[in-house]
């Protein structure tokens, strides 16, 4: 408890709340976007480039790097967030260009699905290597530049960082970790004037699930012999291309807002409809209710409502 109180005090100290001038996009302000080859990363890269930022766009494949280099105000960088040598090379590339780095968008991510009691440890390790250790590695490497510029760090989270779902435990675990990472990083970088945010999208068009299905098939994982064989086979037979979902334009706009707002929001939930918003908020409130239930210092309804009012007022 004392440790938690110390962290809370650190967060609330006056110098832990930087007041920055409005961030105006310009060609002199550079941003790095990881996982920029498709989906949220590609859409965000294009929007930031059109809005006047110079974007270093991270991708792994030659064809993706070539396509990204065709975009004005964009320089593609080979960047696999699981490979430290590529991260170090990206740092040198950005440093040598002389623009510095104002923003980092940790977007690269993967999804691993399957029942947790049968999931291979190597698959869980892969999930965390990309989604959790990836942002950790990249942010750590670029931290000196971000501190110099009093810039911004934003990570792509997910509403799955609030709502867990059967067969998606590994993915949800990684996104819950991103939420904790964001809060701790925000407290630690606030004294240096660096803003930290997480953008939590709902269901938007992307290739993440198509790639997930292909990894499952490549590994020969069909669910045969599993206690969950019917559910797994049903998942593999369902459409995975997410083509019915909206383009992630609103998610890209959220990242632009994080980079340009005077005081960026810590959390930005971006969902395509009210139903996903309700599911997410209800899950968060249910967790509060469960934490409070039958504990020796339980708070009554009126006190909980007052706490919610204070939280909504930013107190």
Query: Is 164 buried (19+), middle (13-18) or exposed (0-12) by CB count in 10 A?
Result: middle
Own/partner long-range contacts of 272-278 (Cβ < 8 Å, ≥24 apart): 272/202, 272/203, 272/204, 272/245, 272/246, 273/202, 276/159, 276/202, 276/203, 277/202
181 a catalytic residue: no
Cα separation, 193 vs 150, whole angstroms: 5
For 65, 109, 167, 313, the CA distances from 158, given in Å and listed in that order, are: 26, 11, 16, 24
Measuring CA to CA, which residue among 201, 200, 178 is closest to residue 248? 201
Cα separation, 32 vs 74, whole angstroms: 10
Q: Write down the catalytic residue from 56, 102, 136, 171.
A: 171
- Please give the torsion angle defined by the CA atoms of residues 8, 13, 14 and 18, in that order, rounded to the nearest 10 degrees: -60
Is residue 121 classed as helix, strand or coil in its secondary structure?
A: helix
Q: Are 146 and 101 in contact (CB under 8 A)?
A: yes
**How many beta carbons lie within 10 A of that of residue 81, not counting itself?**
25
Taking the mean position of all CA atoms in its chain, how far away is CA 87? 18
Residues carrying an active site annotation: 171
């Amino acid at each position: 408890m004392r440790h938690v109180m110390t962290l809370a005090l650190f967060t609330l100290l006056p110098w832990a709340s930087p007041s920055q001038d409005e961030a105006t996009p310009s060609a002199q302000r550079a941003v790095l976007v990881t996982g920029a080859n498709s989906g949220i990363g590609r859409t965000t890269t294009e929007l930031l480039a059109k809005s006047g930022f110079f974007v270093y766009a991270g991708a792994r494949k030659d064809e993706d790097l070539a396509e990204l280099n065709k975009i004005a105000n964009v320089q593609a960088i080979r960047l696999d967030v699981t490979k430290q040598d590529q991260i170090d090379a990206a740092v040198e590339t950005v440093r040598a260009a002389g623009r510095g780095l104002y923003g980092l968008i940790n977007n690269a991510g993967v999804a691993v699905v399957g029942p947790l009691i049968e999931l291979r440890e190597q698959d869980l390790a892969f999930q965390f290597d990309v989604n959790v250790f990836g942002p950790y590695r990249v942010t750590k490497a670029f931290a000196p530049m971000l501190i110099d510029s009093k810039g911004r760090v934003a990570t792509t989270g997910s509403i799955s960082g609030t709502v867990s779902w059967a067969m998606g435990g590994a993915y949800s675990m990684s996104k819950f970790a991103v939420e904790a990472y964001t809060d701790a990083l925000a407290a630690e970088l606030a004294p240096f004037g660096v803003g930290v945010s997480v953008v939590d999208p709902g269901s938007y068009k992307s290739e993440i699930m198509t790639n997930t299905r292909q990894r499952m098939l490549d590994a020969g994982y069909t669910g045969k012999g599993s206690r969950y064989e019917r559910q797994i086979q049903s998942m593999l037979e369902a459409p995975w291309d997410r083509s019915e979902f909206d383009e992630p334009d609103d998610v890209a706009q959220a990242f632009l807002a994080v980079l340009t707002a005077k005081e960026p929001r810590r959390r930005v939930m971006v969902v395509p409809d009210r139903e996903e918003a309700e599911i997410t908020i209800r899950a968060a409130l249910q967790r509060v209710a469960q934490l409070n239930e039958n504990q020796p210092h339980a708070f009554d309804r009126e006190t909980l409502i007052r706490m919610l009012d204070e939280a909504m007022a930013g107190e």
